[in-house]
Structure 1
C-alpha cells in the first residue's frame, strides 16, 4: 500500500468505502456523497481510480463498470500513519512518552486492551 496520507476527497471516499463493509461502484459512492455536496461522477471516478492505482482499493469489472473494495482496514491505515509520524522523531522514546502522557482515560484503556492482544516483545 502507498505510504502517503490521503488527500481530502480520498479520505472522504475511503471513509465511505470502509463504512459500507462491502464492495461498491463509483455510482453508489457518488449518490452517497451527493447527499452532502455537489460533486461530479467523473470526480469520484478519478479519485477511486487514483486510490486503486495507489493500492488502497482493488477493483473488478462487472458489466461496464468497476466494483471497488478497500484493500486494507481503517485501523491498518491509522496504524501506518502512527508509524510514519513516529519515524519523523529523532528520539522515538521521548515522542512515545509525550504521546502516552496525553492519552485520555478511554485511550489509555484501549492501549491496555491492545497490549493484552499484542504484548511487548519482553512480555512473551
Structure 2
C-alpha cells in the first residue's frame, strides 16, 4: 500500500481481513511474513500506524483493540489521488491509465462516474 512499509502493509492486510476490532496478538498470529516476529515489534508497528492515522484504538481490558480508519478501497483511492497529485500532469497520467484498464474496469468507471447534464 502506498506510503506504508512492507511490515506496515502486511499488518494492514490482516486488520482489513478481520471483521471488527483486532488485538496485537491476533495480528501476530495471522501475519505471514516468513519471519519470526516479536509481539513488541507488531505492537510498535500498530502504534506507528495509529500515529499515521491508519488505525484507531480502543481499550479492551488490559490491551488495546485496533480498527482501520479507512477501508482498503478508501486507502487505495487515497493512494491513486497521491499519485495523480505527484504526477505533474494528472491529465496525461489519467489518459495513460484509461488506456491500460480492462473492459470490465472501463465499464465500472463508466457506471461510477455521474453523467453531467449539459446546459444549453
Q: Give the TM-score category using the shorter length.
A: 0.7 to 0.9
Superposed displacement of residue 107, structure 1: 1.6
- 2:87 alignment partner in structure 1: 89
Alignment of 1:1-124 (within 5 A): 5-33=3-31, 37-115=35-113, 119=114, 122-123=116-117
TM-score, with normalisation over the residues of structure 2? Answer: 0.87
Which deviates more, 40-49 or 85-94? 85-94
Which deviates more, 13-22 or 86-95? 86-95
Superposed displacement of residue 105, structure 1: 1.8
* Moved segments of 4+, more than 6 Å: none
Flag the 1:43–1:91 CA change in 2: closer, same or farther, 3 A.
Answer: same
Matched pairs, number? 117
User: What are the Cα deviations for residues 12-57 of structure 1, in whole angstroms up to 9, with x where unaligned?
Assistant: 1111111112110000011111685421111110000101111111
SS at match of 2:4: coil
Unmatched segments (≥5 aa) in structure 2: none
User: What are the Cα deviations for residues 78-114 of structure 1, in whole angstroms up to 9, with x where unaligned?
Assistant: 0111011011223221111111011112221221232
Unmatched segments (≥5 aa) in structure 1: none
TM-score, with normalisation over the residues of structure 1? Answer: 0.85
Contact 2:10 2:33 in 1 (8 A): no
Flag the 1:113–1:41 CA change in 2: closer, same or farther, 3 A.
Answer: same
